Amino acid sequence: MTRGWEFDSSQPIYLQIASEISKRISSGVYKPGDRLPSVREFALEAGVNPNTMARALASLEQRGLIVTERATGKFVSTQRSVLMELKQELIADTISQCVQALEQIGLTQEEIVSAVRAYVERSAS
Amino acid sequence: MTRGWEFDSSQPIYLQIASEISKRISSGVYKPGDRLPSVREFALEAGVNPNTMARALASLEQRGLIVTERATGKFVSTQRSVLMELKQELIADTISQCVQALEQIGLTQEEIVSAVRAYVERSAS
Amino acid sequence: MTRGWEFDSSQPIYLQIASEISKRISSGVYKPGDRLPSVREFALEAGVNPNTMARALASLEQRGLIVTERATGKFVSTQRSVLMELKQELIADTISQCVQALEQIGLTQEEIVSAVRAYVERSAS
Amino acid sequence: MTRGWEFDSSQPIYLQIASEISKRISSGVYKPGDRLPSVREFALEAGVNPNTMARALASLEQRGLIVTERATGKFVSTQRSVLMELKQELIADTISQCVQALEQIGLTQEEIVSAVRAYVERSAS
DNA sequence: GTGGTCTAGACCACT
DNA sequence: GTGGTCTAGACCACG
């Protein structure tokens, strides 16, 4: 049994939590309109202090990804534009990280594109 | 000053060290024929026990990436084939991880390729 | 009760252990599919530290002679090819050592063959 | 620098020394009529007590392999018969040990002979 | 219980 | 100084 989610020390934990939940929303684990687990539940699952979890959720709420209905809980936003924005951002982050790593290995931009194309074509067969 | 390299608990430290040094070799931080820092220095830099560092380096030596000259130190292999193999493996791993993340977000393979192309073209301008 | 196996200082202990266990596998003391004694038991029997025994077993695993099933133990490989390879290697090593000794004593290659033939015929009667 | 010869605990050291010197005589390091190093020199070389070395040399003298000339030293015997006997014994011991090992690996006597023949023919090419 | 990992500290041979 | 080996003892995940 793991004690909680995995964190590293490169970033505040609450941001890592927000990132994790963002991914879940984007990938449909939590769908638009879904009620999220309570802060306490979430904190237990992640193995962090409820205050930390609350801070993470607040940052998501500020971005418009989740909305709070007083006394009933927090829900994933149903606004398409915000969710699309999130998705685009996650895509950009993922690709950015990948491209950066490949450039560090020594690939040019053209080589990166063709390497990715080769990869997906190979895995498609 | 950081206390050492960053490790997570998803993998043995010695493998993470091996991976880190692999990347440095592939990206030219340590070039073919270069003498590597001594095991003790390396261990100090990474913030681990010398035995752990030795284990990491042994795994690299077993893969043919580095060679040991007794009592003088460890050197990056000058064999092209091994280094090319390493590079291809690092590229494949990086792309695999990226594609997997993007597919989880919900992109199709064509979308992934075009998103990467768009990204590098945008960053080129 | 002996205090452990016999080792000499010509080679690292862990390699001598690996060699000893190899012989046992080849001669059928440990048969394909057999569960080996646990690392701790083995270490006790050999009179060495468990880490040293683990290192020896790791080298055998790397050669494909044994396989590990997590939390249940280590087992002799059932792959014929690997076991045949081992046997051939042990035979070659043994004969090489013998021939070398006999050549040093001053025997020619023909004399060596006939001396061996004479020996086995004599011991057969 | 090694501190002396290698011994194991399977046999008294003086017998291991006698065996080593026997091999040297048989292989011609010390030829018939040669004066051997003094007991003190020999003991120093082997890293043992002079008494132990004296005992080893006494056992060789008893077998007739070496003779003592009072106040001048010890010499390798010039008697052919004794030297031939020694050679035969060394050969028999070497082969016996080899055959025993091969039988333990699981070879039959015919297989042993043909394996040895194959080995010397291969090494001759 | 199993094997795996990591640390701490020691001694060795080599140059 | 280098790497290599060995011991001792600890903690972990797995089933």
User: Is any atom of nucleic acid chain F found less than 7 Å from the CB of residue C38?
Assistant: no
| Chains touching B (3+ CB pairs < 8 Å) | A
Binned at pLDDT 50, 70 and 90, residue C99 comes out as very high
Position B4 scores a pLDDT of 85
Tell me the per-residue pLDDT of A78-109, one tens digit each, with 9 for 90 and over.
Answer: 999 999 999 999 999 999 999 999 998 889 99
Would you say D91 and C102 are in contact if contact means Cβ atoms under 8 Å apart?
yes
**pLDDT per residue over B5-46, tens digit each?**
999 888 999 999 999 999 999 999 999 999 999 999 999 999
What is the distance in angstroms measured between the alpha-carbon CA of C61 and the sugar C1' of F2? 29
pLDDT by residue (tens digit) across B62-99?
999 999 998 899 999 999 999 999 999 999 999 999 99
Q: How far apart are CA D49 and CA B109, in angstroms?
A: 79
Q: Is the pLDDT of residue C2 over 60?
A: no
The answer for A73, left when phi > 0, alpha when psi is -120 to 50, beta otherwise, is: left
DSSP codes of every residue in D78-121: --HHHHHHHHHHHHHHHHHHHHHHHHHHT--HHHHHHHHHHHHH
Please enumerate residues of C whose Cβ is less than 8 A from a Cβ of D: 6, 8-10, 23, 26-28, 87, 90-92, 94-99, 101-102, 104-107, 109, 112-113, 115-117, 119-120, 123-124
Distance in angstroms (rounded) separating the CA atoms of residues D93 and B99: 66
Backbone angles phi, psi at D5, to 5 degrees: -75, 165
Residue in C61, C105, C97 with CA at minimum distance from that of residue C82: C61
Residue nearest to nucleotide E13 (CA to C1'): D1
Q: pLDDT-derived band of residue D11, with 50, 70 and 90 as boundaries?
A: confident
Residues 6+ apart with CB under 8 A from D12: none
Inspect the interface and report whether the beta carbons of D96 and C119 lie closer than 8 Å: yes
Confidence of residue A3 (pLDDT cuts 50, 70, 90): low
| First-to-final CA distance of chain D | 37
Question: Residue B6 is nearest to which of A6, A8, A124, comparing CB atoms?
Answer: A8
How large is the C-alpha radius of gyration of chain D?
Answer: 18
The token duo for B98 is 């990226």
Contacts of D37 (CB under 8 A, 6+ apart): D45
Q: What six digits make up the tokens of A63?
A: 């971005």
Tokens 């396989």 found at: C67
The tokens of D77 are what? 């015997």
Helix or strand (DSSP H, E) at A69: strand A66-69
**Distance of alpha carbon C93 from the chain centroid:** 10
Structure tokens at B54: 């030795």
pLDDT surpasses 90 at B114: yes
Specify the nucleotide whose C1' lies closest to residue C74 (CA): E3
| Amino acid found at C46 | A
Bases along strand F below 7 A from a protein CB: 1-10, 13-15
Per residue in D27-62, pLDDT (tens digit) is 889 999 999 999 999 998 888 899 999 999 999 999
Phi-psi region of B64 (alpha: psi -120 to 50; beta: other; left: phi over 0): left
Q: Is the CB of C46 under 7 A from strand F?
A: no
User: Do chains C and A have 3 or more beta-carbon pairs under 8 angstroms?
Assistant: no
In angstroms, rounded to a whole number, what is the distance separating the alpha carbons of residues C60 and C44?
19
Taking the C1' atom of every nucleotide in all shown strands and the CA of C71, the nearest one is E2
Give backbone dihedrals phi and psi of D110, rounded to 5 degrees, phi first: -65, -45
pLDDT at C123: 85
User: B105: which chain A residues are within 8 Å (Cβ-Cβ)?
Assistant: 23, 26-27, 87, 90-91, 94
pTM of the model: 0.85
Rounded to an integer, the average pLDDT of C37-62 is 97
Of D90, D119, D120, the CB nearest to C105: D90
Relative to beta strand C73-76, strand B73-76 is unpaired
Return the pLDDT at B105: 85
The region, left, alpha or beta by phi > 0 then psi within -120 to 50, assigned to residue A34 is beta
Measured CA to CA, the distance from residue D17 to residue D10 in angstroms comes to: 13
Average pLDDT of D108-115?
94
* pLDDT bracket for residue D3 (50, 70, 90): low
* Average pLDDT of the residues in C6-16: 93
Q: Which of A60-74, C55-69, C75-89, D6-20 has the lowest mean pLDDT?
A: D6-20
**In this model, does residue C3 exceed pLDDT 90?**
no
Q: What's residue D2's pLDDT?
A: 53
Closest of D12, D105, D10, D101 to residue C7, by C-alpha: D10
User: Within chain B, where are the H helices?
Assistant: 13-26, 39-46, 50-62, 80-105, 109-124
pLDDT, position C106:
84
Predicted local confidence at residue B86, as pLDDT: 95
The residue whose CA lies nearest the C1' of nucleotide F5 is C12
What per-residue confidence (pLDDT) applies to D59?
Answer: 96
Q: Which nucleotide is nearest to B74 (CA to C1')?
A: F3
pLDDT, residue B2, reads 55
Report pLDDT for A27. Answer: 86
Q: Please, what is the Cα angle at A29 between A27 and A32, to 5 degrees?
A: 85
